[in-house]
Amino acid sequence: MSFKQRFFKKKIEKQAIGPQDINHLFTKAKKSSDFRQLSLINKTGHFILSYYNTLIDLEQFQCKVLYAFQEPSFNIGHIKNIEDIRNTIPIEDILITDNIEVIESKFLKGYAILQMKENDYKCALINLANDKVGLREQNNVENEFSVIGPQIGFVENVDINIHLLRQQISTPNLIIQDIHIGSMSHTKVIIAYIEGITNEQHIQTMTQRLQNIDFDVVFDSSQLHQIITDNSLTPFPLLLSTERIDRTVFALISGQVAVFSNGSAYAVTGPSTLLDFFVSPEDYYLPWIIASFFRLIRIFSVFFSVFATSIYIAVLTYHYEMIPRVLLGPLIFSRNNVPFTPLLEVLFLELTIELLREAGARLPTKVGQTLGIVGGIVIGQASVEAALTSNVLLIIVALSALASFTTPIYKMSNTIRFLRFPLIILASIWGGLGIVLGISFLIVHLTRLESLGTPYTVPLYPFRRKDFADSIIRSSYNATSKRPSYLRPRSLWRYHPSDQIKKKNDFDD
């Protein structure tokens, strides 16, 4: 099949079945029982209002629309034209159009259609939408908890999210653009950035990728994340998704772009780098020395989590000569009655831990806790007693599972837990050589990744010395006054730290 044929074929398939005219729309809608159509005055065929009663706010409908037509001083003679509706109904968002596509999408989002006469193509769309119904009210951070700092997170309503964002960034430079994505859902997706800081290229890339999306229903922003990601053949999340406001605001002021999608409590920010995923907002609320220490621990725990079990396999299967003299005894007697090879032993325990995590995540919180205790203590202890696994391995696996949960971003901690398995297989095949091969593959893969066209491993590779101030360690606020240069921000300085002496001396004050 030639290219041209293929191209045209695609175009034909893509054509959506849209409504021909407004009557067609109504005949379809009438099949649903929640569709209502009534005349506002006692003259049939005039001032026909059509709406889905499940989508509109009935109180508003009664107080502002019905009342306007039924109050004693109402004179039908004032409305000669459809445009005059604006003066009668005290609602700001009234749209007058004859574009059937607009009508249909607004109608399905909770607008009521008002026609002067039956079969009028030009009609008024009155916003009676009630989009807060059914959404959760409380917006505590649930999954990215931090002890210090604000506990407010995003909710499923995108307007509230933007409101929360505007509360923190009060500048007209914060630009909000919407796109509607989803042939079925017409989900409102918002791109936020700060003009004068964010590089236009990032905005353009993000906008273009979002606009090119053809999808039916957008359930969550993480779906958008998957579709617009630079490389879908990677276990690494290339954009950062967070439910924390402070994180999103920090991304915006550093010169990143944020994407919100209606119905999702997660914002997607990008371009992000590998190290961004190991940064916790708490780092910025603690003194920098302590914060740096904990950040280092977090980064160490990643390495531990990825390599601990594979090194265990490699050493126990191939490299017994490198075991220190004092460890030889404990390792041998803990493995003494275990009938499996180290590989099976490790896989058994790793899968047990994954099962516990998966089951704990699916179950309600209260049951989940019990399950954690039962699983962790009883199964762990019992499998050692039954000599299915060794004591030492139980400790290593539990520690590495624990270490993987120190990563603040859930998607990244999943990746880390996933990365273990190929390394375990490699270690069981080739021992230490296998681990080295795995590491080499991982490094090559990581350095080739890009996030919105920006290298993923910056500032490590390509090396950017100046951006190290806030990477592996979190330097003091004096040193982090510049935005990261790899984001190519339009203005470099975040703030200007005073050159005063570091120790504050209240003697002079």
What torsion do the CA atoms of 179, 98, 50, 127 make, to the nearest 10 degrees?
40
Q: What is the CA radius of gyration of the chain?
A: 30
Q: Which residue, 206 or 424, is less far from another protein as judged by CB?
A: 424
User: Please, what is the minimum distance in Å from the beta carbon of residue 464 to another protein?
Assistant: 34
From candidates 317, 414, 457, 476, binder to another protein by CB under 8 A: 317
User: Please, what is the minimum distance in Å from the beta carbon of residue 384 to another protein?
Assistant: 13
User: Please, what is the minimum distance in Å from the beta carbon of residue 145 to another protein?
Assistant: 40
User: Please, what is the minimum distance in Å from the beta carbon of residue 342 to another protein?
Assistant: 6
User: Please, what is the minimum distance in Å from the beta carbon of residue 331 to another protein?
Assistant: 6
Q: Which residue, 438 or 459, is less far from another protein as judged by CB?
A: 438
Contact between 71 and another protein by CB under 8 A: the answer reads no
Q: Give the total of residues touching another protein (CB under 8 A).
A: 21
- Tell me how far apart the alpha carbons of residues 157 and 135 are, in angstroms, rounded to a whole number: 7
Within 335-431, residue ranges assigned H as helices are 342-362, 365-373, 380-385, 391-404, 410-430
Positions 418 through 447 that interact with another protein (CB under 8 A):
429-430
Determine the interface stretch with another protein among 120-128, 309-317, 404-412, 458-466 (rule: CB under 8 A).
309-317
Label residue 212 exposed, middle or buried (CB < 10 Å: 0-12, 13-18, 19+).
exposed
User: Please, what is the minimum distance in Å from the beta carbon of residue 340 to another protein?
Assistant: 10
From candidates 48, 252, 316, 419, binder to another protein by CB under 8 A: 316
3-state SS, residue 306: helix
Positions 444 through 473 that interact with another protein (CB under 8 A):
none
Residue 299 CB neighbours (<10 A): 17
Cβ atoms 280, 408 nearer than 8 A: yes
State the angle between helix axes of 342-362 and 288-317 in degrees (0 to 180), rounded to the nearest 10: 140
Q: Which residue, 320 or 461, is less far from another protein as judged by CB?
A: 320
The answer, yes or no, to whether the previous bond of 408 is cis (omega within 30 of 0) is no
Beta bridge partners of 474: 470
- Tell me how far apart the alpha carbons of residues 121 and 100 are, in angstroms, rounded to a whole number: 8
Q: Which residue, 134 or 324, is less far from another protein as judged by CB?
A: 324
Sign of CA dihedral 350, 351, 353, 357: positive
Positions 319 through 348 that interact with another protein (CB under 8 A):
320-321, 323, 325, 328-333, 335-336, 338, 341-342
Q: Which residue, 325 or 366, is less far from another protein as judged by CB?
A: 325
- Tell me how far apart the alpha carbons of residues 371 and 286 are, in angstroms, rounded to a whole number: 34
Q: Tell me, rounded to whole angstroms, the distance of Cα 451 from its chain centroid.
A: 15
Determine the interface stretch with another protein among 30-38, 173-181, 201-209, 318-326 (rule: CB under 8 A).
318-326
User: Please, what is the minimum distance in Å from the beta carbon of residue 329 to another protein?
Assistant: 5
3-state SS, residue 176: strand
Dihedral class, residue 134 (left if φ above 0, else alpha if ψ from -120 to 50, else beta): left
User: Please, what is the minimum distance in Å from the beta carbon of residue 10 to another protein?
Assistant: 25
Q: Which residue, 328 or 378, is less far from another protein as judged by CB?
A: 328
**Sites of contact with another protein (CB under 8 A):** 315-318, 320-321, 323, 325, 328-333, 335-336, 338, 341-342, 429-430
